Amino acid sequence: MPSRRALFSLLGLPLAATVAAGCSSPRRARALEAFGDAHESTPEALAADESRWEQVQAAFDVDRSVVNLNNGGCSPTSSAALDAQRRRLEFANALPMVNLWRIQHGEREAVRRALAESLGCDPEELALTRNASESLETCLLGLDLARGDEVLTTDQDYPRMVTTLEQRVRRDGIVLRRVELPTPCEDNEALVALFESQLSARTRLILICHVVNVTGQILPVRELVAMARRRGVAVVVDGAHAFGQLEFTRDELDCDFYGASLHKWLCAPHGTGLLYVRRERIPEVWPLMAARHEQRADIRKFEELGTQPYAAQLAILEALVFHHAIGAANKLARLRYLRQRWVDRLRASAGERLQLRTSLSPRFSAGFATFHIDGLDDQALLESLWRRERVLTTSFAAPFPERARGLRITPNIYTTLNEIERFCEGVERALREGVR
């Protein structure tokens, strides 16, 4: 990811001007100022500096009567990005044929450039989509596969992506195979060997998560892509939980196909996503919505949706400014700090009964984790936390494997320490009194 300074200059915004431009959003300006001298400290030290994070917390208008620990589903948008979206929507509405079709359609190129800069790819390799599902289905449905060709994924990939492949099984006669992902896992070599052992002469495609949504496990994308490339197999990477949470570039992953949501960890407006396709592979992928033959090598062929509001996409710029001002490494360190708070407390109160489905090593997991408490039913605990404490979580049950099942806890950068404590108190009450 580019430095805060590089990104601002890409957007044509000198750093100071960006901060001062908080005139429409003083709370954003305060949040940005709070990280103005962040380079003088380490992400780990900043993670525990509550006064800075208080400014970030204030930059979100969220319902504080609820403790929202399911930001991995969809995060609130920062208030400044939401304002930007609202303004763009009103502008478009004033004269749609000019403001929407012409002006805003063109302005999307600045968003493409900024996201490409963040990912470290060429803007001509990046399409703006509505979400990770659209990005990934474009690849999973758009790559040619013949009857009998095999696709490999895992037993923990996102259900909609699996549904997509299952539809191809019914429609095109492909064969779907699934690797049983060790959980938690701290052996990347074994993982790569496991995937390789499942390839056959008919395997054409692998679908993997960069960060597994069930547990937060980081998969060794670069090594898996290298292994698959040697075997002539394409790899589609599901980055729904990685972009905006982990710091990485396309070159570090060396992948050819990557899809991500921006409304999870980037805190961009809802209904935003990106699709990266390596330039020379663009012609291979059929778009979901038809495009002209002359567009076959143009990344914009994946954006042929007809009339649509561009306000959300244009406000991605605001979310990127916010993200880079705080700093990707600082964000991740804060998420890990919040995770450590609840893990330590629950370890103290639940002891051996606490089962973590996630390695806490920074090499193997992002900033969230999933847990199960022996003797407590996951779904009953989830419902009890909601009913009695207004704590919102999500849980994973069958068909996910037993070793990955549990409650996933995904705070975000606006989450307060008090909210983490409230969640822990709820679990402790369940430990004392049972779930009811």
Other beta carbons less than 10 A from residue 375's beta carbon:
10
> Based on CB atoms, which residue is closest to ligand PLP, 216 or 327?
216
- Residue (of 427, 379, 423, 359) closest to 71 by Cα position: 423
Other beta carbons less than 10 A from residue 49's beta carbon:
16
The yes or no reply on residue 408 touching ligand PLP (CB under 6 A) is: no
Least distance CB 365 / ligand PLP (angstroms): 14
Nearest-angstrom CA–CA distance, 213 and 238: 10
**Cβ distance 113 to 274 under 8 Å?**
no
The yes or no reply on residue 302 touching ligand PLP (CB under 6 A) is: no
Least distance CB 138 / ligand PLP (angstroms): 12
> Based on CB atoms, which residue is closest to ligand PLP, 52 or 130?
130
> Based on CB atoms, which residue is closest to ligand PLP, 156 or 330?
156
The yes or no reply on residue 216 touching ligand PLP (CB under 6 A) is: no
Task: Tell me the window of 127-135, 179-187, 188-196, 285-293 that interacts with ligand PLP (CB under 6 A).
Answer: 127-135
Identify residue 8 by its one-letter amino acid code: F
Other beta carbons less than 10 A from residue 27's beta carbon:
18
The yes or no reply on residue 118 touching ligand PLP (CB under 6 A) is: no
The yes or no reply on residue 240 touching ligand PLP (CB under 6 A) is: yes
Task: Tell me the window of 10-18, 125-133, 368-376, 386-394 that interacts with ligand PLP (CB under 6 A).
Answer: 125-133
Nearest-angstrom CA–CA distance, 279 and 341: 43
Least distance CB 371 / ligand PLP (angstroms): 18
Within positions 245 to 264, which residues make up the interface with ligand PLP, using CB under 6 A? 261
152: DSSP letter: E
Identify residue 92 by its one-letter amino acid code: A
Q: Do the strands 150-154 and 203-209 form a parallel or antiparallel pair, or are they unpaired?
A: parallel
**Cβ distance 395 to 406 under 8 Å?**
yes
**Cβ distance 426 to 381 under 8 Å?**
no
> Based on CB atoms, which residue is closest to ligand PLP, 241 or 372?
241
Give the angle subtended at the CA of 255 by the CAs of 252 and 261, to the nearest 5°: 90
Least distance CB 160 / ligand PLP (angstroms): 6
The yes or no reply on residue 238 touching ligand PLP (CB under 6 A) is: yes
The yes or no reply on residue 273 touching ligand PLP (CB under 6 A) is: yes
Strand locations in 223-292, DSSP E?
234-238, 257-261, 273-277
Other beta carbons less than 10 A from residue 229's beta carbon:
14
Residues in the chain: 436
Least distance CB 157 / ligand PLP (angstroms): 7
116: DSSP letter: H
The yes or no reply on residue 132 touching ligand PLP (CB under 6 A) is: yes
SS3 106: helix
Contacts of residue 176, defined as CB under 8 A and 6 or more positions apart, other chains included, come to 150, 151, 153, 162, 165, 166, 168, 169
Within positions 309 to 368, which residues make up the interface with ligand PLP, using CB under 6 A? none
> Based on CB atoms, which residue is closest to ligand PLP, 150 or 238?
238
The yes or no reply on residue 213 touching ligand PLP (CB under 6 A) is: yes
Contact letters for ligand PLP, residues 157-176 (x by CB under 6 A): -x------------------
Least distance CB 72 / ligand PLP (angstroms): 7
Within positions 5 to 34, which residues make up the interface with ligand PLP, using CB under 6 A? none
Within positions 181 to 210, which residues make up the interface with ligand PLP, using CB under 6 A? 209
> Based on CB atoms, which residue is closest to ligand PLP, 60 or 243?
243
Q: Do the strands 394-396 and 406-409 form a parallel or antiparallel pair, or are they unpaired?
A: antiparallel
Task: Tell me the window of 180-188, 220-228, 234-242, 340-348 that interacts with ligand PLP (CB under 6 A).
Answer: 234-242
Site of interaction with ligand PLP (CB under 6 A): 73, 131-133, 158, 209, 213, 238, 240-241, 261, 273
